[in-house]
A and B are shown apart, each in its own frame.
Chain A
Amino acid sequence: MWQERSAIEWLRWLAEGRVSAVELVDAAFQAIERTDSRVRAFLHLRPEQARVEARSIDERRRRGEELGLLAGLPIAVKDVLCVRGEPTTCGSRMLAEFRPPYDATVIERLRAAGAVLVGKTNLDEFAMGSSTENSAFFPTRNPWDLSRVPGGSSGGAAACLAAGQVPLSVGTDTGGSIRQPAAFCGVVGLKPTYGRVSRYGLVAYASSLDQVGPMARTAEDVALLLSVLAGHDPRDSTSAPVAAEAYHQGLDAPLGRLRIGVIREHFESGLSPSIAGAVRQALDVLAQMGAELVEVTMPHSPYAIAAYYLVAPCEASSNLARYDGMHYGLRCDESLPAGDGNEGRQDASRLVRVYRASRSQGFGLEVKRRIMLGTFALSAGYQDRYYVKALRVRRLIRADYERAFERVDVLAGPTTPSTAFRFGEKLADPLAMYLEDLFTVGANLAGVPALSLPCGFDENGLPIGLQLQAPWFREKRLLQLAHQFQQRTDWHKRRPAL
């Protein structure tokens, strides 16, 4: 029963006094207890604090106090968002012992809304990866097939929803990290417009692409969570001074004759036939709902992956420079005995040894690969050829979107080229892994909002995701469309047998 109801429904029950926040938290921890030894969605759980917070919500409700939008709802947060005084590992050995002294803006907003944080979910180290296999601690498993990956990097964030552990989850998306795991796990995930949600306290992977976003089992719940997450933050200079909306209200409002652009390039080479079929069927549903389908072309989309895998590693190479073993995080000091000869030289090389040892042991392979890629692409003599050129491609991709949105209201297509793959299947082939992001990176490069929602299952019973993209700050339109789609379909109601 716990996993059958949506967050919106539980809110109604809470308001009517049919259930308490403590009972919901207990239900969440029971579900986690029952399933997480197999799924392994969580890196850290905070049962005691969560119960204290839930009790306080119940108390305040009894006193008739005004409560926030999420008061009493259990929520999971990807372990890349800073929570004051609690583990924030980013799935890395480097930050295994790190506890930030401050809350991310998103965490502050969740607390103010009365959400009860049950724990922090697993991810690819520093959000770099598409399978959660790059977590330094353990991989998360796909609740639909435990031999398969849940996607990544927000793999834990998607898996905890699919496993029915919590109704709401917060992920982050730099190149598809919310949408691809949402597709693999059969849940809904939204990457908002760049600047829609504050990045303050989100541990940076690629600053110009990273965005925090809501995940849930229904579009309505995603909208509810976005209403809390979105808004201007003066502590984030890239946060947009655009007023947030009540995204969860008016989801049923008629959309009129929406023009939906079908991206031709996304149906060309590499797309699995079962996904193509499911997405075509979903497009038919949209057409039956009154939408007009228009084929659009995004001529620069074949270059999106290349541009993304230059811009993101370049920024990452700089963003991750702070993990040097000096101020916090892992420090490995392989110092030699002091006092032989030139003390100055000895001292300097000792410094380099600390850097080298800390970073060699603190970072995993994929993180190192991206730091090296980025360092190389930014270095003198190569910067114009790689980084600067990638920025040019990025502008062209953005222009593709601008042109497309002159003709259509929404873009639609598959979220991923394939469904969830088996552990180890792509680990040895980084390029194959990078192609996971083929359809998703465009939204990050252009900064537009994009959502993935379930639209079918393949021959192995694995979920398939439909990606919808809208113009900048048109999250509401995406959520309305997704919600109304879910009123006509029941893909989102299916649950894995765990």
Chain B
Amino acid sequence: MSQAVPYTIVIGLEVHVQLLTRTKLFCRCPTTFGAPPNTQTCPVCLGLPGALPVMNRRAFELALRTAVALQCRIPPRTKWDRKNYFYPDLPKGYQISQYDLPLATNGYLEIADPAGRFAPKPIRIRRAHLEEDAGKSLHDEAAGVADSRIDLNRAGTPLLEIVTEPDIRSPLEAKTFLSELKLLLLYLEVSDCNMQEGSLRVDANINIHIPTASGMVATPIVEVKNMNSFRAVERALQYEAERQYVEWQATGLTKENAPKQTRGWDDQAEVTVAQRRKEESSDYRYFPDPDLAEVTIPAHQIERLRDEMGELPGALRKRLEQQYGLDAYASDVLVNQGKAVVAYFEQVARQCGDARRAANWIQQDVLRVLNERHIGIEQYPVAADELAELLRQVGDGQLITSRAREVLERMVQRGEKLEQAIAALGIQSVSSNQLRELCRQLVEANPRIAADVRAGKRQAVGALVGQAKKRNPNVNPAEVQRICLELIEQSE
């Protein structure tokens, strides 16, 4: 952090990711978001007497793919455990989860800041495990009567819980970690990471370490919940660190003499608020679920996943820099846009032969349109080969940059093909004979300029370029300048 504070912030994150499966983790009900309440349910996810779970292999595979990408250690076998607690949105009275043998442990994810506000570092992943989601309680407090309704559509949806070590040292690092994790999950196609729909949920554990005369003091750990965007995570953690410092100054309470506490982030008031404790104790009485068999994970499955993984963001950034000579910033921008934009870039770069020009145009022109229209590259009106051809003509000098921008604008606005747009704008390529003739006429008609140039004022030729553009807007100014200078020197 740039501004110095008299303490170190220590943060660990718990991320719940909803996996992109068509059906739930232990039954065949669909996972579609937004269906009318309790329409996507069956005896299994309703927890009816006698119903039994059957593991969704696809969900397990997506979880494994993520674990491999996070460089985790994956055990040869894993199992399912029951986490027992009572809550109305938990119809079985227990959640099927993984306790002491999670499917992944000891991984890491590299984070970096292109702006250099912190040094690149790995954030260690303590564990990742699969579990089923609970339903939703809908509280209706109209008419002064507390009336709760339960929607079990979400019950049984597969969640991957990813827990980091407390390696994060600032709210910015936390936000960066989450962005990088989200990008990774999108590249892996394991989740849509939609925070509004709850596909990605974040809780944070935070405290601060304060150097004092009698040694380092750690404040009580606080679990912060209710953070509904990455920006909210950053702000909540910033607030919470400062709050803990103020509270420590007032009370002197430390991790050793105060219990862990749960606080919720209030996005409107921009404060964290202590949450009421659950009436239950937190003894979940975990034990292996006798309804489910252990899952063996053969080494060849992990190998296959590794082979099929494709390029992940970290490696991709480095390759774009090395292969195309992009700077770190440009490769970061492209990679952060996702796989499809990178593929688009690579095609344009290959076909137009100038990767940096391709990167510049995509960053400045293409991404602007994507952002304005809130669309993906798939909906961008100009295909990669068309943009490549446009940029090739710019490179060849057939089209000047300003005219090329007009052409692209027309293609985007009207959906025209490259040739159509060029024709519509009255752009014709000027043959070298035509260009030479035009320059000859200009040099002849402007003897004083020619004389100035000969006298050493080479910049005087600019006036000829200006006249040439007036006569024919399609001429390449650099070419006009080169030919005029050549003619003036020849006529000496």
Give me the interface of A with B, judged by CB distance under 8 Å.
81-82, 88, 90, 95, 98, 100-102, 104, 199-204, 206-208, 234-238, 314-315, 317-318, 320-322, 324, 326-328, 338-339, 343-352, 355, 375, 378-380, 383, 387
| Given the contacts A200-B51, A322-B47, A378 and B144 also touching, CB distance less than 8 Å | no
**Residues in B neighbouring A88, C-beta threshold 8 A:** 49-50
Contacts of B213-270 to chain A: CB distance below 8 A: none
**Residues in A neighbouring B283, C-beta threshold 8 A:** 379-380
Contact yes or no, B94 A318, CB < 8 A: yes
Which of B93, B145, B291 is in CB contact (< 8 Å) with A207? B291
> Which of B55, B86, B150 counts the most chain A CB atoms within 10 A?
B86
**Residues in B neighbouring A324, C-beta threshold 8 A:** 86, 88, 93
| Given the contacts A322-B91, A324-B93, A345-B276, A236 and B86 also touching, CB distance less than 8 Å | no
Indicate whether B279 reaches chain A with its CB closer than 8 angstroms.
yes
Indicate whether B84 reaches chain A with its CB closer than 8 angstroms.
yes
Q: A204-B291, A350-B146 known; 18 other A-B pairs, CB under 8 Å?
A: A82-B50, A100-B43, A102-B51, A203-B49, A203-B50, A237-B292, A238-B292, A314-B287, A317-B84, A317-B285, A321-B93, A322-B49, A338-B145, A347-B146, A355-B86, A375-B285, A379-B285, A387-B287
Contact yes or no, A90 B93, CB < 8 A: no
Nearest Cβ on chain A to B118's Cβ, whole angstroms: 39
Contact yes or no, A104 B50, CB < 8 A: yes
**Residues in B neighbouring A344, C-beta threshold 8 A:** 276
| Given the contacts A237-B55, A237-B291, A378 and B285 also touching, CB distance less than 8 Å | yes
Contacts of B294-346 to chain A: CB distance below 8 A: none
Contact yes or no, B279 A200, CB < 8 A: no
Nearest Cβ on chain B to A394's Cβ, whole angstroms: 12
Indicate whether B367 reaches chain A with its CB closer than 8 angstroms.
no
Contact yes or no, A327 B276, CB < 8 A: no
Indicate whether B53 reaches chain A with its CB closer than 8 angstroms.
yes
Q: How far is the CA of A200 from the CA of B49 in the complex (A)?
A: 10
By secondary structure, the A interface counts as: loop
Contact yes or no, A238 B84, CB < 8 A: no
Contacts of B135-152 to chain A: CB distance below 8 A: 141, 144-146, 148, 150
Which of A102, A318, A339, A387 is in CB contact (< 8 Å) with B82? A318
Contact yes or no, B146 A315, CB < 8 A: no
Contact yes or no, B84 A321, CB < 8 A: yes
B53 nearest in chain A by CB position: A237
Q: How far is the CA of A350 from the CA of B88 in the complex (A)?
A: 12
Indicate whether B52 reaches chain A with its CB closer than 8 angstroms.
yes
Which of B46, B54, B55, B86 is in CB contact (< 8 Å) with A327? B46
Which of B54, B150, B290 is in CB contact (< 8 Å) with A326? B150
Nearest Cβ on chain B to A3's Cβ, whole angstroms: 31
Contact yes or no, A81 B293, CB < 8 A: no
| Given the contacts A326-B150, A375-B285, A378-B287, A352 and B49 also touching, CB distance less than 8 Å | no
Q: How far is the CA of A236 from the CA of B26 in the complex (A)?
A: 11
A347 nearest in chain B by CB position: B146
Contact yes or no, A238 B49, CB < 8 A: no
Q: How far is the CA of A82 from the CA of B283 in the complex (A)?
A: 32
Contact yes or no, A237 B146, CB < 8 A: no
Indicate whether B48 reaches chain A with its CB closer than 8 angstroms.
yes
**Residues in B neighbouring A204, C-beta threshold 8 A:** 49-50, 291
Contact yes or no, A100 B276, CB < 8 A: no
Contact yes or no, B285 A81, CB < 8 A: no
3 smallest CB-CB distances across A and B, nearest first, come from: A321-B93, A208-B290, A207-B290
Indicate whether B357 reaches chain A with its CB closer than 8 angstroms.
no
Nearest Cβ on chain B to A497's Cβ, whole angstroms: 38
Contact yes or no, B146 A98, CB < 8 A: no
Nearest Cβ on chain B to A140's Cβ, whole angstroms: 22
Indicate whether B92 reaches chain A with its CB closer than 8 angstroms.
yes
| Given the contacts A321-B86, A338-B146, A383-B287, A90 and B49 also touching, CB distance less than 8 Å | yes
Contact yes or no, A200 B290, CB < 8 A: no
Nearest Cβ on chain A to B236's Cβ, whole angstroms: 22
Contacts of B64-111 to chain A: CB distance below 8 A: 82, 84, 86, 88, 91-94
Contact yes or no, A100 B49, CB < 8 A: yes
Q: How far is the CA of A369 from the CA of B85 in the complex (A)?
A: 19
Which of B46, B54, B93 is in CB contact (< 8 Å) with A318? B93
Contact yes or no, A348 B279, CB < 8 A: yes
Q: How far is the CA of A204 from the CA of B52 in the complex (A)?
A: 9
Q: How far is the CA of A82 from the CA of B53 in the complex (A)?
A: 16
**Residues in B neighbouring A82, C-beta threshold 8 A:** 48-50
**Residues in A neighbouring B46, C-beta threshold 8 A:** 327
Contact yes or no, B86 A349, CB < 8 A: no
**Residues in B neighbouring A355, C-beta threshold 8 A:** 86
Q: How far is the CA of A355 from the CA of B87 in the complex (A)?
A: 10
Contact yes or no, A328 B150, CB < 8 A: no
Contact yes or no, A101 B150, CB < 8 A: no
Contact yes or no, B290 A101, CB < 8 A: no
Contact yes or no, A200 B50, CB < 8 A: yes
| Given the contacts A344-B276, A347-B146, A237 and B82 also touching, CB distance less than 8 Å | no
Nearest Cβ on chain A to B97's Cβ, whole angstroms: 13
Listed A/B pairs (20) with beta-carbon separation below 8 Å: A81-B50, A101-B48, A203-B50, A234-B54, A235-B52, A236-B52, A237-B292, A314-B287, A317-B84, A318-B94, A321-B86, A322-B91, A322-B92, A324-B86, A326-B91, A326-B150, A327-B46, A343-B141, A348-B279, A378-B285
Contact yes or no, B86 A318, CB < 8 A: no
**Residues in B neighbouring A352, C-beta threshold 8 A:** 279
**Residues in A neighbouring B141, C-beta threshold 8 A:** 343
Nearest Cβ on chain B to A307's Cβ, whole angstroms: 14
**Residues in B neighbouring A238, C-beta threshold 8 A:** 52, 290-293
**Residues in A neighbouring B91, C-beta threshold 8 A:** 322, 326-327
**Residues in B neighbouring A235, C-beta threshold 8 A:** 52, 54
Nearest Cβ on chain A to B427's Cβ, whole angstroms: 66
Contact yes or no, A100 B48, CB < 8 A: yes
| Given the contacts A338-B145, A343-B146, A201 and B50 also touching, CB distance less than 8 Å | yes
**Residues in A neighbouring B293, C-beta threshold 8 A:** 237-238
> Which of B48, B92, B150 counts the most chain A CB atoms within 10 A?
B48
**Residues in A neighbouring B150, C-beta threshold 8 A:** 326-327
Contact yes or no, B287 A98, CB < 8 A: no
**Residues in A neighbouring B48, C-beta threshold 8 A:** 82, 100-102, 328
Q: How far is the CA of A207 from the CA of B279 in the complex (A)?
A: 29
**Residues in A neighbouring B55, C-beta threshold 8 A:** 237
Nearest Cβ on chain A to B46's Cβ, whole angstroms: 7
A346 nearest in chain B by CB position: B146
Q: How far is the CA of A237 from the CA of B287 in the complex (A)?
A: 17
> Which of A206, A235, A355 counts the most chain B CB atoms within 10 A?
A235
Contact yes or no, A321 B49, CB < 8 A: no
Contact yes or no, A318 B287, CB < 8 A: yes
Q: How far is the CA of A81 from the CA of B290 in the complex (A)?
A: 19
Contact yes or no, A349 B50, CB < 8 A: no
> Which of A101, A347, A350, A378 counts the most chain B CB atoms within 10 A?
A378
Q: How far is the CA of A355 from the CA of B85 in the complex (A)?
A: 12
Q: How far is the CA of A200 from the CA of B26 in the complex (A)?
A: 13
A359 nearest in chain B by CB position: B86
A355 nearest in chain B by CB position: B86
Nearest Cβ on chain B to A87's Cβ, whole angstroms: 12
A199 nearest in chain B by CB position: B52
Q: How far is the CA of A297 from the CA of B384 in the complex (A)?
A: 79
A351 nearest in chain B by CB position: B88
**Residues in A neighbouring B47, C-beta threshold 8 A:** 322, 327
**Residues in A neighbouring B84, C-beta threshold 8 A:** 317-318, 321, 378
Q: How far is the CA of A355 from the CA of B82 in the complex (A)?
A: 20
Nearest Cβ on chain B to A76's Cβ, whole angstroms: 18
**Residues in A neighbouring B279, C-beta threshold 8 A:** 348-349, 352
Nearest Cβ on chain A to B450's Cβ, whole angstroms: 90
Q: How far is the CA of A136 from the CA of B149 in the complex (A)?
A: 31
A311 nearest in chain B by CB position: B290
**Residues in A neighbouring B92, C-beta threshold 8 A:** 321-322
Contact yes or no, B49 A101, CB < 8 A: no
Nearest Cβ on chain A to B41's Cβ, whole angstroms: 10
Q: How far is the CA of A236 from the CA of B290 in the complex (A)?
A: 11
Nearest Cβ on chain A to B282's Cβ, whole angstroms: 9
